[in-house]
Structure 1
């Protein structure tokens, strides 16, 4: 299961499993009994992803996959970083976070506007297996929001791995999937998850 309520992430994950030729059924938090979200007390994206995946696996009894992601702006000492989702405070929203970061970086020169999105994926199974993958999407930030095909800081981030100057929120979903931090991390971890599940099923069959 995916330890997230984000429908876009769920669609992307299901699409990746299908592309790998797997018939694994991917559930979301909406498909299981409600439980309190864990405090994300880790000091890195990987630690926070593991906290969420471990909690989901323990609460549901299902193999769980979680991610933690955010934007790092070099001129801000790689912040917001792991605080990206809460950058504007306890009642943070995507819009408020975006506006605050725009306000904080309005005077950055192009040379100092380098940034990246980071995504850590963590898989946890009830047998104690833990798998993690981390990926990045390098680029730079701009001084105004552009586009509506995205969320979070997408409208102010221009990926470097493209032929053009579109923000993440101006790109098509397919084009963004191909180069995004999350897309890379998902594509890296899915084969490892499938390998683990197949090995686990073989071992259980042999024992049975």
Structure 2
């Protein structure tokens, strides 16, 4: 069993990774741990200017502290009408307490006069895998959508109730978890990371098709 620490306290993210791992074929023998399993790690710095910088910063801190491979994601919402904000500040858009309700309220307030056709947005996820020996790997995923005028659905977390996908006529908050885990930005990034993990765990004697990184 290959153990990876997810550099997060967010159990919603942990459940998504576990579900994607179980659904992936061929299955990979991965045990996911989280920072809740390592209470001695209390404060991770994430002061980078990009999702990639922050993901690597968190993963390397955990891998160094625990001596175990660590994976971190830095993900967030980029809204065209706000010049790409909230971006790397998505979790603390309305304050350092990382309050989902207040973040959503602030986003709706800023977009209250923006028409539907100009509410384009995308969720971005960058995954960084840091190995104790210093090796590092990255994967990125994007999911495009629109910002709804009000929250819909109680599934997911963060901005999910506001992120509307026209092709499904639902927000992330309304989609079944199984479907979201197939089409989300995190799912896209994770599919690419699975390719890298397969290479690390089971080196192939013959070339295998690599997803578009």
TM above 0.5, yes or no, is: yes
Following TM superposition, by how much is the alpha carbon of 1:64 offset from its aligned partner in structure 2, in angstroms?
Answer: 0.4
Aligned to 2:19, which of 12, 15, 22?
A: 15
- Alignment pair present for 1:4 and 2:15: no
Call closer, same or farther: CA 1:17–1:176 in 2, change over 3 Å: closer
Aligned to 2:101, which of 95, 103, 106?
A: 95
Aligned to 2:121, which of 107, 115, 121?
A: 115
Aligned to 2:139, which of 109, 133, 141?
A: 133
Deviates more, 1:5-14 or 1:55-64: 5-14
Give TM-score, length-normalised by structure 1. 0.89
Deviation digits for residues 6-34 of structure 1, max 9, x if unmatched?
Answer: 22222222233332322222211112242
Divergent runs of 4+, >4 A: none
- Alignment pair present for 1:50 and 2:85: no
* Higher-strand-fraction structure: 2
Aligned to 1:63, which of 48, 69, 89?
A: 69
Output the CA distance in 1 between the equivalents of 2:31 and 2:198. Answer: 12
> Does the 8 Å CA contact 2:77/2:122 hold for their aligned counterparts?
yes
- Alignment pair present for 1:40 and 2:40: no
Output the CA distance in 2 between the equivalents of 1:115 and 1:89. Answer: 21
Number of aligned residue pairs: 197
> Does the 8 Å CA contact 1:53/1:123 hold for their aligned counterparts?
yes
Call closer, same or farther: CA 1:30–1:100 in 2, change over 3 Å: same
Aligned to 1:174: 178
Deviates more, 1:14-23 or 1:145-154: 14-23
Gaps of at least 5 residues in structure 1 are 200-208
Following TM superposition, by how much is the alpha carbon of 1:150 offset from its aligned partner in structure 2, in angstroms?
Answer: 1.5
Gaps of at least 5 residues in structure 2 are 204-213
Output the CA distance in 1 between the equivalents of 2:130 and 2:153. Answer: 35
Output the CA distance in 2 between the equivalents of 1:33 and 1:193. Answer: 26
Aligned to 2:191, which of 187, 192, 201?
A: 187
* Higher-helix-fraction structure: 1
> Does the 8 Å CA contact 2:35/2:41 hold for their aligned counterparts?
no
